[in-house]
Structure 1
Amino acid sequence: MLINTFLLVLGITIGCHCQEQTPLQKVVKSGDKFNGNLYKELINAQKGNLVYSGLSANLVLSLLTSGAKGDTKNELLLGLNLVQNDEERNNGYKQLSSSLNVNSKDLKVLSANKIYPAKGFPIEESFKNTAVNDYQSEVENLDYQNKEQAAGTINKWVEQKTNNKIQNLINPDKLKPETKLVLANTLYFSGKWARPFDFTRKGMFHVTESQSKEVNFLQGTFEAKYRHCGFYQAKFLELDFQGGNISMTFVLPDNRNGLQKMEDDFEGVSEVHAMKSGNVEISVPKFKQETEIDFVPVFKKMGIQKIFTNGADLSGVSSKQNLKVDAIPQKTFIDVTETGVEAAAATGVHGVPTSLIKPDFIFNAESPFLYYIRERNSGAVLFAGRYVN
């Protein structure tokens, strides 16, 4: 199960014969660039294990950019690597959002947006229309004078949208009497592996060359997609989920200390790569983790400054009030188990015992690795992270 919540709190080539990209393709490509830049900043600020959703951040900040003007807007477009044309960008995210809503027994991909203006706070009609029509956002007015009640309302919505996995996203103390608008996004995923793992074993995970830790490993030998990349000196393993076009890719350096080379180019590592199919002997840790991120200092390092100052120009959101961004928290949760990225009853699989299958490839994740979950129709990376300890 993978869940993410993202919140914004605001207060008072010439001659190319290539096929033209669609708005959807453009926002996915720009999102890949942003995701790579964001990853590098996050690992500098966040030590140890990490899971986050750059897509969730892009969705809500793209909406905010539609209401920004002048230097404020230029900073957002550049720092977030967004498609510059508002109509094209919003149309692309509208198409992407429609593919992020799958709700079946075995697969759930659910994205939700909501804007919470203060009671009596005037929002520009054009911004509201963009939020509702392009980002499928709901609208609910709140009384920020009662910060406990306002925070409770937002947190309850987040809990409902994330199957109660993300709780207390927003601290009431982050809300102020002068808070005029909150933008929230949730991205929820749960899925069962197309082929569940055979069993779980105890083993040693090598945190460093000199430090090891006993963990539970998911073990199996079955058909999967794989490749070895000489450039990154790493093994790639792609596992499918049932009932949809979602996959999870694990990227394991050949060298136990080789993670940094890949982290320096996360955009390239997370690109769609050609894979082989064959019997793979797989061993990956069973893990559960949650990451909480304050994006304000992260985005400031990425060159986004003005939205956090009194000089912010968000007059496209409201021409009646001066707005600035006060806080950008995100919580993300992942739970990788035998049956999928969700705790569920195992189903029996009839097949050849693993000991009798000669593998074409061995993927033994006993040292730090990266991972990401992709929606293959669009190519968008929904979640990404690293497991190092």
Structure 2
Amino acid sequence: MAGLGARGATRDQMEQVLGGNMEHLARTAQELREVLAAVGDAERSRARSGGPEPARASLVGGAWAQQGTAVRPEYREQLATGFGADLGEIDVREDENREAGRREINAWVEEQTNHLIQELIPPGALTARERLVLVSALHVKAAWPAPLTATQGDFTTADGTVRAVQMLSGTAKGWYEDAHCRATALPTAGGEIALALIQPATGIDEVLEAWAQDAEQPGTGLDALLEGLGGSSDRVGLTVPALDISWDEELNGPLQKLGMTEAFSPGADFTGIAEGADWFLSLVLQKAVLTVDEHGMEAAAATALMTRMAAAAPPQRRLVLDSPFLVLAYETSTRAPLVAGWIGDPTRTG
């Protein structure tokens, strides 16, 4: 969203880090937003009673500019078309109005994420110098076709500690295996959302490094894994811990380490947003939540960016996730990853 208004070296770096031309990325976001908005519609139209609740998913954008800021009309149109974001106004000049703006943005995020993401922007994060706040909010909720079985079991954490946890058992569909990992997927009712569960062959870092190296080669790495799961009909006996985890981090440092330094410097060029805008990125915040239980999964993620002035066959395979593993919720027709994370200790909730 910010990159659409970047120019010069600022835009070049952002496109390099985000992996594509900004207009193309915006079109991709628009397409994914439309696909997710339709998730569960077919199931709801059948109006069947007694079965699992149809899945729901949404990806929406929000934008707020400092009151009186002359945002370019073409940038407003890009936000609305690509991200469904209508540009609102806040007033950050006085403490009371600034706090009211912060509460307004946080309330919008909470509503869009089914109350899973709260206080995305903490007190004090907005200052009198902020000129634009851009927010992306994702929510996914889906039930398993049949409930999983909950039992007690053990999980060995990344540091070797054995913890007693609730384990969920059932039959997953699809199998993928390569030199770095093996994986299966839990489909949800309707089949439009799935949860990939990935067990590293050696370590999680090795898997992520292999995916990073293959990222620009279609049909390899994570792309190959998701395609392999979609093309496999193997039934997999699965055991996985129940999850209720959250993640909260500032992304300024990671983005700059990836090479997006110009956007965070006083010399950044965001004149595509407003003529003569002497702005730079001041803060990028992200929160994510993932819950997995015997009935289904629910996930949400929100990112805020601020610019500052200057009945199946018997299982054929078995996957027991009783040590650190990766999770990835994705939309099945586009294979677009929605929420990803790694589980080192499922007993931790934050």
Q: TM-score, normalised by structure 2?
A: 0.83
Alignment of 1:1-389 (within 5 A): 63-83=1-21, 86=23, 88-102=24-38, 104=40, 105-145=53-93, 146-197=97-148, 199-208=149-158, 210-220=160-170, 222=171, 224-229=173-178, 231-232=179-180, 234-254=181-201, 257-267=202-212, 269-271=221-223, 272-275=226-229, 276-342=232-298, 358-389=314-345
Does the Cα contact within 8 Å between 1:289 and 1:335 map onto a contact in 2? yes
Does the Cα contact within 8 Å between 2:110 and 2:116 map onto a contact in 1? yes
Instruction: Compute the displacement of 1:134 (Å).
Output: 2.3
Partner AA of 2:133 in structure 1: V
Cα shift readout 1:148-189 (whole Å, capped 9, x = no counterpart): 111000001001101111111102311111211100110011
- Which structure is richer in relative contact order (CA contacts within 8 A, separation 6 or more)? 1
Cα shift readout 1:343-386 (whole Å, capped 9, x = no counterpart): 9xxxxxxx59xxxx753101111111111111122221111111
Partner AA of 1:273 in structure 2: E
Does the Cα contact within 8 Å between 2:172 and 2:238 map onto a contact in 1? no
Does the Cα contact within 8 Å between 1:147 and 1:173 map onto a contact in 2? no
Partner AA of 1:157 in structure 2: W
Does the Cα contact within 8 Å between 1:147 and 1:172 map onto a contact in 2? no
Range with bigger deviation, 158-167 or 91-100: 91-100
Does the Cα contact within 8 Å between 1:223 and 1:277 map onto a contact in 2? no
Does the Cα contact within 8 Å between 2:39 and 2:192 map onto a contact in 1? no
Distance 1:252 1:305 in 2: 34
Distance 1:103 1:304 in 2: 34
Cα shift readout 1:128-155 (whole Å, capped 9, x = no counterpart): 1111122211221111122211100000
Cα shift readout 1:16-36 (whole Å, capped 9, x = no counterpart): xxxxxxxxxxxxxxxxxxxxx
Distance 2:281 2:340 in 1: 25
Gapped runs of 5+ residues in structure 1?
Answer: 1-62, 344-350
Instruction: Compute the displacement of 1:219 (Å).
Output: 1.2
Aligned residues: CA RMSD? 2.0
In structure 2, the residue matched to 1:43 is none
Distance 1:311 1:185 in 2: 25
What secondary structure is seen at the aligned counterpart in 2 of 1:216?
A: strand
Partner AA of 2:184 in structure 1: L
Instruction: Compute the displacement of 1:209 (Å).
Output: 7.6
Cα shift readout 1:186-244 (whole Å, capped 9, x = no counterpart): 001110012321x2111111125842111110012x36212332x21x32111111124
Distance 2:127 2:78 in 1: 26
What secondary structure is seen at the aligned counterpart in 2 of 1:122?
A: coil
What secondary structure is seen at the aligned counterpart in 1 of 2:289?
A: strand
- With over 3 angstroms needed to count, the CA separation of the structure-2 counterparts of 1:168 and 1:64, relative to structure 1, is same
Partner AA of 1:130 in structure 2: Q
Gapped runs of 5+ residues in structure 2?
Answer: 41-52, 213-219, 300-310, 346-350
Q: Which 4+ residue blocks in structure 1 deviate beyond 3 angstroms? A: 102-105, 266-269
- With over 3 angstroms needed to count, the CA separation of the structure-2 counterparts of 1:158 and 1:301, relative to structure 1, is same
Partner AA of 1:339 in structure 2: H
Cα shift readout 1:26-49 (whole Å, capped 9, x = no counterpart): xxxxxxxxxxxxxxxxxxxxxxxx
Range with bigger deviation, 90-99 or 292-301: 90-99
